[in-house]
Amino acid sequence: MSLAWFARRLMLMVYTVIVVSMLVFAITQILPADAAQSLLGENATPEVLAALRTRLGLGDPAWLQYGRWARHIFTGDFGISMRTSLPVGPEMLAALSRSLLLAVSAILVTLAIAVPLGVVAALRQGRLTDTGVSLIAYLGVSLPEFVTATLLALLLADTWHWLPATGYVSPLEDFGDGIRHLALPVLTVSLILVAHVMRMMRSETLDVLKSDYIRAARLKGLPERTVVFRHALRNALLPVVTIIALDVGYLLGGIIVIEEIFAIPGIGRALMVAITTRDLPSIQAGALIMAATYAVTNTLADMAYAFLDPRIRYD
């Protein structure tokens, strides 16, 4: 893991962002029912539409628009929202911070639940615990977020009144209330993630338990406890770093629905609103920021993995 390796990894990240920016721009450029129309709604008149289109630069060739857009983004300027007339960048980043709070909480909860369950299932392979864990896992990966969210809200909030159904309170303003409001969305996201991570954790643990070095450790006469905790767990946990990083991709997609349902003003909902109102700068900025978040997370995960795993470190 040399400096060159770092540099290469960073280059890849930059390449990712560039490819995504082009892709997002290309897709949004050919959106039908152009932005000016949707901006003006029922009150559009031809002359007003024309004026607005010129102002938004919608008439220029695509590559010119892309160049202008990319240049502005490079300087940190994501443009002005067509919908709210506010600068898109700060809005999206603020939204992202709220989404990240949700995402990070969900990942922590997931790890706390999924890792022990996965390991236990692997250690009790084929027994009742394992079957139970597998059933939960199947259920988790087979329920779409909107179903889980609805059912959880129906039970935990409307029927049993344990948690607030929706809404967002910044934990910075009121910590307790903020956490209470995060509980349901975090639970929903976690349920799906737990299913996934648990399955991975189980199969990783099984693989590690089958490995030669675990056999060697056992035959060295180490107690089972030491074998599992010192030798197996560590190696089984390492790939989870990468799995979690890849799940961030799912997570970022999933929060679109979660935030919509739970009224969390995060980047997912910002994107959903932007897409329904054809707010081009917001769509472009939101999608780019989301993809960049994913790229950065993965780069960091790769680096963390390389740092933690001597196998990679000295390749």
Partner 1 sequence: MTELFIRLMRKPQGFVGIVLLALIAAACLFGPALAPYAPEKIDFLGRFRAPGWQNWLGADQFGRDILSRLMVGARSTVPLAFIATFVGSAAGATIGVGSAYLGGRTDEAIMRTIDAVMAIPGLLMALLLVSTLGNGAGNAVIAIAVAFAPGMARVTRSAALNVRNQDYVKAAIARGEGAPWIIFREMLPNVMAPIVIESTIRVSFAVMLFATLSFLGVGAQPPASEWGLMVADARQYMHQAPWGLIAPSAAIALTAIAFNLVGDGLRDALNPKDER
Partner 2 sequence: MTPVLSIQNYTLDYISSAGPVRVLHDISLEIGPGEVLGLVGESGSGKSSLAWALMRHLPENAREVAGSLRLGDIDLQRLSPGELTRIRGRRLGMVFQDPSTSLNPTLTIGRQITEALIQHRGLKQRDASSLAINLLGHVDLNNPAAIMRRYPPEISGGEKQRVIIATAFGCRPDVILFDEPTTALDVITGARILALFARLRRETGVAALYISHDLALVTRVADRVAVLERGRLVEQAPAADIFRAPRHANTRALVDAVPRPERRLVHDKPGDQVVLAASDIEVRYGSGGLFRDAPPPATKKIGLEVRGGEILGLVGESGSGKSSMARALTGLARFSGKITFDAHEIHRMRDMNAAYRRDVQIIFQHPDASLNPRHRIDEILSRPLKLYGGHLADIPRLLEQVRLPASYANRWPHQLSGGEKQRIAIARAFAARPKLVICDEITAPLDVSVQAQIIELLLALREETGTAFLFITHDLNLIRQIAHRIAVMRRGEMVDLLPVEDFDADHVHPYTRELMAASPVPVG
Partner 3 sequence: MLSVTRRLFLAGTAISLAGLPRIALAEAPKRGGVLRMSVDQAASVIHPMLARVNPEYLVTELLYSNLTRLKPDMTVEPDLAMSWEPNATLTEWTFKLRPGVTFHDGSPLTADDVVATINAILDPKTASPGRTNVGPIKEVAAVNPLTVKFTLVGAYADLPVALTYLNARIVPAKVIAGDLASLSTTANGTGPFKLASYEPDRRIVVERNPAYYDPARPYLDRIELLVYPDRTAEASAMISGEIDLLLTTAPGEYERLAKADGVKALRTPSGQFLNINLGCDQKPFNDVRVRQALALVVDREATVGFVAGGYGTPGNDTPLSSAYHFYKNIPLKKPDIATAKKLLADAGYPNGIDLTLVASDRPSTRTQLGVAVREMAAAAGFRINVQTMPHATYLDQVWKKGNFYVGFYNMQPTADAVFKLLYTSDAAWNETHWNNADFDAVINAARVETDEAKRTALYAKAQDMMNAEVPSVISAFFDLLAAQRSYVEGYALHPRGSVFRLDMASLGAGAPKRA
When asked if residue 171 is in the footprint of partner 1 (CB under 8 A), the reply is no
Can you tell me the distance from the alpha carbon of 246 to that of 234, in angstroms, rounded to the nearest whole number? 20
| Eight-class DSSP state of 231 | I
Long-range pairs of 88-93 with CB within 8 A, sequence gap ≥ 24? 88/281, 88/282, 88/285, 89/285, 91/270, 91/282, 92/267, 92/270, 92/282, 92/285, 92/286, 92/289, 93/289
CA-nearest of 14, 170, 192, 194 to 102 is 170
When asked if residue 223 is in the footprint of partner 2 (CB under 8 A), the reply is yes
Nearer to partner 3, 138 or 175 (CB): 175
Which positions from 216 through 255 interact with partner 1, judged by CB under 8 A? 249-250, 252-254
For residues 199 and 118, the answer to whether their CB atoms sit within 8 Å is: yes
Least distance to partner 2 from the beta carbon of 125, Å? 10
Nearer to partner 3, 11 or 48 (CB): 48
Phi-psi bin for 41: left (phi > 0), alpha (psi -120 to 50), beta? left
**How distant, in Å, are the alpha carbons of 51, 89, 236 from that of 36?**
9, 20, 53
What's the distance, Cα to Cα, between the start and end of the chain in Å? 7
Least distance to partner 3 from the beta carbon of 123, Å? 41
Which positions from 34 through 73 interact with partner 3, judged by CB under 8 A? 34, 37-38, 40-45, 47-48, 51-52
Q: Residue 4 CB: number of other CB atoms within 10 A? A: 8
Nearer to partner 3, 259 or 302 (CB): 259
Among 292, 300, 304, 312, binds partner 1 (CB under 8 A): 292
Among 33, 128, 172, 219, binds partner 3 (CB under 8 A): 33
Which positions from 224 through 283 interact with partner 2, judged by CB under 8 A? 224, 226, 230-231, 234-235, 238
CA-nearest of 224, 296, 253 to 9 is 296
Binding interface with partner 1 (CB under 8 A): 12, 15-20, 23-24, 27-28, 30-32, 138-139, 141-147, 150-151, 154, 158, 249-250, 252-254, 256-257, 260, 271-272, 275-276, 278, 283, 287, 290-292, 294-295, 298
Binding interface with partner 3 (CB under 8 A): 32-34, 37-38, 40-45, 47-48, 51-52, 81, 83-86, 91, 94-95, 98, 150, 153, 157-158, 161, 164-168, 260-263, 265, 269-270, 273, 276-278
